């Protein structure tokens, strides 16, 4: 085999790392599982009565498990790009994992539960402080209140250039649209001089 070949068939795909973040029970594990072309790696453990004294389960009382490290999935875009998806843990006691997961990431999807918008504030603050490109994906659960994008932007105090998209984390096509929005946003941001960003 000639390792000096420039034949495109032998070129490795470009790796793109994306985080799926948000509050506890917002649908991060569900989204990674829905869009991944491979069986996702999950680090879920059962919620216990002891954990219930530490974690705020308001609005997600029926949730039986929680992510304790990360979720991992993969999407191949033709043979040119490989998207690696890392779902972050949502509970505050596991946030120390975020620093390692963020290294080398193109950007992040902040998944917001439309019933509990305030739960995504820590993720928004985290990525804003680190100047990491992000989009907000409003996960419209069944029975969720019909907030407009403008109302969500006002409630979360987001700048106009940060995309907000509605999605259903259970649907593959919906999750892919969110990821496309993030990649496009990150590319626009990379092309904007730092001093001109708001």
pLDDT, one tens digit per residue, over 137-164 is: 999 876 556 688 899 999 999 999 999 9
Give the pLDDT score at 59: 53
CB count in 10 Å sphere of residue 62: 7
Q: Where are the domains of the chain?
A: 8-192
147 HSE (CA, 13 A, CB side):
25
Q: Which residues of the chain have pLDDT under 70?
A: 1-11, 40-70, 90-96, 142-146, 195-198
Q: What is the CATH number of domain 8-192?
A: 3.40.50.300
Contacts of 80 (CB under 8 A, 6+ apart): 13, 14
Ordered alpha helix ranges (H), the chain: 28-35, 49-52, 98-102, 121-129, 149-156, 172-190
172-190 and 28-35 are packed helices; what angle lies between their axes, rounded to 10 degrees? Answer: 100
């Amino acid at each position: 085999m000639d390792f000096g070949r420039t034949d495109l068939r032998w070129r490795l795909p470009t790796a793109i790392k994306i985080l799926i973040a948000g509050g506890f029970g917002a649908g991060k594990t569900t989204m990674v599982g829905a869009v991944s072309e491979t069986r996702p790696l999950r680090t879920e453990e059962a919620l216990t009565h002891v954990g219930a004294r530490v974690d705020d389960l308001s609005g997600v009382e029926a949730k039986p498990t929680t992510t304790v490290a990360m979720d991992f999935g993969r999407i191949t875009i033709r043979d040119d790009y490989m998207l690696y998806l890392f779902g972050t843990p949502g509970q505050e006691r596991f946030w120390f994992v975020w620093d390692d997961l963020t290294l080398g990431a193109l950007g992040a999807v902040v998944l917001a539960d439309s019933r509990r918008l305030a739960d995504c504030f820590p993720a928004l603050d985290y990525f804003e402080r680190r100047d990491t490109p992000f989009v907000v994906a409003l996960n419209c659960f069944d029975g969720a209140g019909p907030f407009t994008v403008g109302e969500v932007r006002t409630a979360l105090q987001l700048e106009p250039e940060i995309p907000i998209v509605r999605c259903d984390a259970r649907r593959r096509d919906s999750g892919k649209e969110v990821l496309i929005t993030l990649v496009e946003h990150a590319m626009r941001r990379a092309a904007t001089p730092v001093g001109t960003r708001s």
